[in-house]
Structure 1
């Protein structure tokens, strides 16, 4: 009696292995670029300081102590104090929640709204496309900083209004980028096949166009965070951003410039926080652009 020959049973490849391979490839690409690693490290440190600011701060950022006004950096006050005796180290840590929070919100909100609007414009076409693009052209014809200041002044000086103004001005950049991707993707065979089988425009945008237009939008988003932080700090510097007693880096630099000759620490530490944070996000954005560049995939 012969034993029947059966095909060997091959266990399916676990999905986790694919995830591990992708993470290993990502880590390898990041290690190849020292600047990307530096940007990632700076970004992680800033985000951790932002999240754990209440626990890392040595004192209440809004507590007044006139007997310690404009005190030099010391063991009690690592970054010194301001004109009313508030601890600058605590205010810089808490200020990260305002400044970095604005940058993250502006980048993600403008990417979401602009990306969807641009994809819809490219798929629908016709008068809708013409109206959207003419509106975007009008907004882009005005210098960004001038338009942001005009909107922030019209809405009123506050952190939320500054955040809203920056978001509105950044949307046209994402609309133009996503529209160009949509016009290219809509010519693909699978998109035409979906349209032939009766797929609606919203279904095509969400399931075919938006997903494939995501890489360039992610690159633009990562590069915009640092710029949004600088823009929010600029509005705070001229008084159109966060108002007292809210701790915000731009407003702290603006107040500290009145004491810059004798109390150098007042403007120096918030200014360094802006510089280091914006540099970290810009370096990380450059790294994301290189990682998503198809020409770099085989290297």
Structure 2
């Protein structure tokens, strides 16, 4: 009977991995803002995936007889200066604006993390050269450097994404290098070097895995900023071009009508605001979950 009770208790005790995720879910539930941010992200992602089915009209279909109509049951967000349905353009624009932010962060995080880890492992003159280049890039205001690169590459959404990613790389390089300088002193890393492990093996199998939590936090917080930056470039004409439905470009096109036709700028602008806030709230929650001091405090 005693053995049976022990076996039953053992079956009821969750595995360490399950217990870990149960604790994380408990922490998430204690943060309403994190849940709100996650809910916003889920809605935005679903809108991106199902945009062709959610849009009631062709986002590029021109109808001069319906130009600049206010919101109504026919056109929920009104129409623009050539009669295009703004609700359809906002929905389809999520595929451009949000995808641009995600792509920017993915490019900057991967390249910057690998470069920062390599710089920390390399040391010496190579490390100094890499970090001086990063310092030069960081010394220039981000918006100014992004605008200069986008203008040099040419106005398009792809070039805008590339320009933003290049400007964001130094932030990941510095963060990854700082983590590398700490992790490379650990005993198991020193042991791997003693047994002849090359630098690439050290970076991919030992250093990068331990440096991942702060990099994930940085990436989650950067998505909202990247979306805003892409919208900014679209607003000044260096991002997506007509007739592409992109939120920043839509706000730019509507600024001439903002006093009389308020809906033209309001709805794309609200989409940018809500999306950026959602990713920032979720990023703050991820930071709290991955920070031992913060999660321990809960």
After TM superposition, the runs of 4+ consecutive aligned structure 1 residues lying more than 4 A away are 16-19
211-220 or 122-131, larger mean C-alpha shift: 122-131
Q: 1:62 aligns with which of 57, 60, 72?
A: 60
Summarize the alignment of residues 229-268 of structure 1 with structure 2, pairs less than 5 Å apart.
Answer: 229-268=227-266
Judge conservation of contact 2:27–2:295 (CA < 8 Å) in 1: no
TM-score computed with the length of structure 2 as normaliser: 0.94
CA distance in 2, matches of 1:85, 1:190: 65
2:137·2:167 contact (CA, 8 Å) conserved in 1? yes
Q: Post-superposition shift, 1:51? A: 1.1
Number of residue-to-residue matches in the alignment: 292
Cα distance per residue 1:11-64 (max 9 Å; x no partner): x989x9554433322221111011111111111111111111011111110111
- For the 8 Å contact 2:224–2:279, the answer to whether it is kept is yes
* 1:86 partner SS: coil
User: Partner of 1:71 in structure 2?
Assistant: 69
Q: Which residue of 2 aligns with 1:135?
A: 133
1:29 paired with 2:19, answer no
In structure 2, the partner of 1:181 is 179
Helix, strand or coil at the partner of 2:80: coil
Please state whether the residue corresponding to 1:132 is helix, strand or coil. helix
Aligned partners of 1:261 and 1:246: how far apart in 2?
24
Matching of residues 63-142 of structure 1 within 5 Å: 63-142=61-140
Matched, 1:273 2:271: yes
> 2-side partners of 1:264 and 1:297: how far apart?
44
Return the alpha-carbon distance in structure 1 between the equivalents of residues 34 and 295 of structure 2: 16
Equivalent residue for 1:282, pick from 273, 280, 296? 280
Gaps of 5+ in 2: 1-5
Larger mean CA deviation between 162-171 and 44-53 belongs to 44-53
Match of 1:287, SS?
helix
Tell me, in whole angstroms, the C-alpha distance in 2 between the residues paired with 1:22 and 1:97: 34
CA contact 2:288–2:295 (8 Å) conserved in 1: no
Q: Deviations over 1:254-280 (max 9, x none)?
A: 111111111110000000000110000
| Greater helix proportion | 2
Contact 2:176–2:211 (CA under 8 A) maintained in structure 1: yes
Quick one: structure 1 residues 48 and 69, their matched pair in 2 at CA, closer, same or farther if it must change by over 3 Å? same
**1:203 has 2:195 as partner:** no
Distance 1:23 1:246 in 2: 41
Cα distance in 2 for residues equivalent to 1:13 and 1:271: 53
Partner of 1:245, secondary structure, is: coil
Instruction: Give the counterpart of 1:49 among 27, 47, 50.
Output: 47
Relative to structure 1, the CA distance from residue 228 to residue 183 in structure 2 (aligned partners, 3 Å threshold; closer, same or farther) is same
Q: Measure how far apart 1:130 and its partner are.
A: 1.1
